[in-house]
Structure 1
Amino acid sequence: MNPYRLYLVTDDRQPTDTLQKVVAEAVAGGVTLVQVREKHGDVRAFIERAEAVKDALRGTGVPLIINDRVDVALAVDADGVHLGQTDLPAALARRLLGPDRLLGLSVETEQQLFESESLPVDYLGLSAIFATPTKTDLKKHWGLNGLKRALSVSSRPIVAIGGINADNLRQVAGTGVHGVALVSAICAASCPRSAARSLRRMMK
C-alpha cells in the first residue's frame, strides 16, 4: 500500500483534544499518513501532542511522522520524520533513526531535487505546488508542470504540498503524483471525516 496517498499535516494552532479528534476522524475518512507539525519550539508540548496523535492512530495502521524533530520522533517511537532543508542533515537523521523508519525531505528547488537523489530518504515533499498562506518564505511555486517535471526526474515517491484543496486536487492527482499533503482542507473542515472521504474519492 502507498502510505503517502492522502497525507495529513496537523494544524499546530488547534488545541490537543481537538487535534486528536480531527486526526481520528480524518483517518476514518481515508487519510493514509499523519505528520505532526509544531512550530512553537516547546519540545515537551510537542511530545505531548505527538503522543495524543499516536493514541488516535493506535490500531489503524496509519504511520505517524514527526516534522523536523528526530528527538521527538524517538521519544514517542514514531514511524518516521520529515525534514526541512535547514533541519538535521538527512544522513545524520538516518543514522539516528535506523534503517526502518520513514524519512522524508522537503524540496523547494531544482537543485535540492537533484541533490536529494544521493540522500538516504524515502520520499520527497515537493513544496509548494501553489501559493499558500501557511508558507510565506517559499523559494518558488512548482505548479502542475513543475510537479510533472519533478516526477520525471526523481527516483523517490513525491508528495505534493502547498495550496492544494478540493478545487485543484483532481488536477494534482492527474499528474501521477504519489500523494498529496493537506492541512486546512481537512483540519479546518466542519467534518474532517467527510472532507477526507471526499478528497480520497477525487484522487481516483
Structure 2
Amino acid sequence: MRIPDFRLFLITDRKYFSATCHMYMALETILEAGVRAVQLREKDLSQKELLDMAIWMRELTNEYGAFLFINDRVDVALSVRADGVHLGNESLPVSAARKISGGGLLVGVSAHSAEQAFEAERDGADYVTVGPIYETTSKPMSGCPLGIDALHAIRRKVRIPVYGIGGIRLHNAREVREAGADGVALISGILGAGRLKETTEEFLRLVQ
C-alpha cells in the first residue's frame, strides 16, 4: 500500500460547474498542474452515478499517478480499486472500514477537534483532516474555526499525517504548513478559482 506523501488534497464538488463534463475537464487541468491526491465527495449522487464517476476518476488519477479517495463508501472504493476511503463523523468506524476492505485501503478521517484527531489516530487512521481552520462556506463543518494555534497543538501530538482544511486560500496556505500541517485539503480554494492551472501551481509552491 502506498504511503500518503502529497501536500495538496483536492476534494471534489461538482456544484462549482454547470455540467459534470466541465468538472472532468477541470480535474484533468488540476492533475496536470501537479495535484496528486483527490477525494471524490459527491454525497447526493445515486449509487450508479457515484460508481460511474468513481470509475472515470480512477482512470484519470491512474493516468497521473495520483491517489484517489472515496468519501464514506468503502464498497465503491473497493470496486474501482481506489487508494483509500475518507470517513466523516457519522461514517463507519475505522476498524469496520479496515475489516470490510481487508486492510487494502488507506483510511482517512475528518476531525473537528483535538479529541477527534487523537481518537482517529488511536483507531488506526492513516491520516486526518483537521478543520475548519478558517471561516468557510464550502462544506458544513462542526463548530467555529479552530485557528492556527489549535492546528499547531494537534500536529505536535498526532503522529499520523495531518491536513488542514477549511477556508484555506493563497494568502494563508503557507501559515497552515508552517503550523506543522503535512498539507492542505481544498475545495473552493481551487474549484472556485477562475484560473485553475495557475492557482493550483501557486498553491503547490506555497505548501512545499
Instruction: Tell me if the contact between 2:132 and 2:141 (Cα under 8 Å) persists in the aligned partners.
Output: no
Q: Do residues 29 (structure 1) and 33 (structure 2) align?
A: yes
Matches of 1:97 and 1:73 in 2, distance apart?
Answer: 9
* Structure 1 residue 12 displacement after superposition: 3.1
Change (3 A) 1:2 1:89: closer
Choose from 121, 124, 144 the match for 1:140.
144
Please tell me the residue identity of whatever aligns with 1:82: H
Q: Do residues 46 (structure 1) and 46 (structure 2) align?
A: no
Correspondence list, 1:42-121, <5 A: 42-121=46-125
Q: Which residue of structure 2 lines up, in the alignment, with residue 3 of structure 1? A: 5
Q: Which residue of structure 1 lines up, in the alignment, with residue 173 of structure 2? A: 169
TM-score (norm 1): 0.93
* Structure 1 residue 16 displacement after superposition: 2.5
Of all paired residues, the percent bearing the same amino acid is 34
Q: Which residue of structure 1 lines up, in the alignment, with residue 193 of structure 2? A: 189
* Structure 1 residue 147 displacement after superposition: 0.4
Q: Which residue of structure 2 lines up, in the alignment, with residue 160 of structure 1? A: 164
Matches of 1:43 and 1:140 in 2, distance apart?
Answer: 32
Instruction: Tell me if the contact between 2:132 and 2:165 (Cα under 8 Å) persists in the aligned partners.
Output: yes
Count of aligned pairs between the two proteins: 204
SS in 2 for 1:135: coil
Residue ranges of structure 1 left out of the alignment (5+ in a row): none
Choose from 122, 132, 135 the match for 1:131.
135
After superposing the two structures, state which structure 1 stretch, 149-158 or 48-57, moved more: 48-57
Matches of 1:109 and 1:152 in 2, distance apart?
Answer: 14
Please tell me the residue identity of whatever aligns with 1:147: L
Moved over 6 A (4+): none
After superposing the two structures, state which structure 1 stretch, 107-116 or 63-72, moved more: 107-116
> Cα RMSD over matched residues?
1.6
Matches of 1:51 and 1:16 in 2, distance apart?
Answer: 14
TM-score (norm 2): 0.91
